[in-house]
Amino acid sequence: MKEYTLTVIVPFYNEELFIEQSVTNLINENFCDQVILVNDASTDASVKIAKKLINNYSNISLLNIETNLGKGNAIKEAIKNINSTHVAIHDADLEYFPRDLKKMTEISKLNPENIILGSRFIGNIKRNNIYYRTYSANKIMSLFFSFIFWKKVSDIATCYKLFPIEASRELNLKEKGFGVEVELTAKLLKKKLNIIECPINYTARSYEEGKKIKLRDGVNYIIKTFYYRFFE
């Protein structure tokens, strides 16, 4: 068996206010072997900041995408450039905490063939949710996914997903936007990988601060859950 190694993908689009702190927090936890920053055609100073980060840290690389297509496409392109045994996703905002991803990595090392999902709904952790509608929508989407796939998933929209790279190479990811959250979990489940959920912290940001997910993305989650269960 190959030695366990982890690459963390950090997709970003116009995150000049948060990306430096977000990536620095990730590096400071000292648990990943490689970090790939994926620029989804940003038009602000995000790329300049990303280049400064790769100059400061030897294990960070930058992948530039010329056309803004969305998070799903960014993840798909990054996976092509990964040589580690496992991959995880970390958003470039400050809603998530890398110390939780570090905890998930320790679980993954003990269960290398499983999907590790960070859940914002389980465990005795106080989270900061700004919008009740997004909180409720995620609950409903997760219940629907669990029912359709007959597998308990408490937080289908979580950014924090960690899984074996070989399994992900065979998925033929199609979603370009946030629908990739559903597609990844659905297709990995269909490959008979088990899910282990890990409680994580969460501090939501507002739309004024750059939050990007919208109501239409929630509707798409429901549609894609049905699609990837029965038609893909």
Stretch 193-197: mean pLDDT: 97
Q: Report the interhelical angle of 19-28 vs 98-110 (nearest 10°).
A: 40
* pLDDT of res. 215: 65
- When pLDDT is cut at 50, 70 and 90, the band that residue 133 belongs to is confident
Q: How many residues does the chain have?
A: 232
Q: Where are the domains of the chain?
A: 6-230
Residues 6+ apart with CB under 8 A from 83: 5, 7, 34
Burial of 43 by CB count in 10 Å (0-12 exposed, 13-18 middle, 19+ buried)? exposed
Six-digit token string for 161 = 């997903």
34-40 sheet: strands from edge to edge: 60-65, 34-40, 6-12, 86-89, 161-164, 115-119, 195-199
Taking the model in full, what pTM does it have?
0.94
Percent of the chain predicted with pLDDT > 70: 94
Which 8-state DSSP code applies to residue 178?
T
Count of alpha carbons within 13 Å of 10, Cβ hemisphere only? 31
Q: Regarding the domain with residue range 6-230, which homologous superfamily does it belong to in the CATH classification?
A: Spore Coat Polysaccharide Biosynthesis Protein SpsA; Chain A (3.90.550.10)
| pLDDT reported for residue 1 | 63
- 172: alpha, beta or left? (left if phi > 0; alpha if psi -120 to 50): left
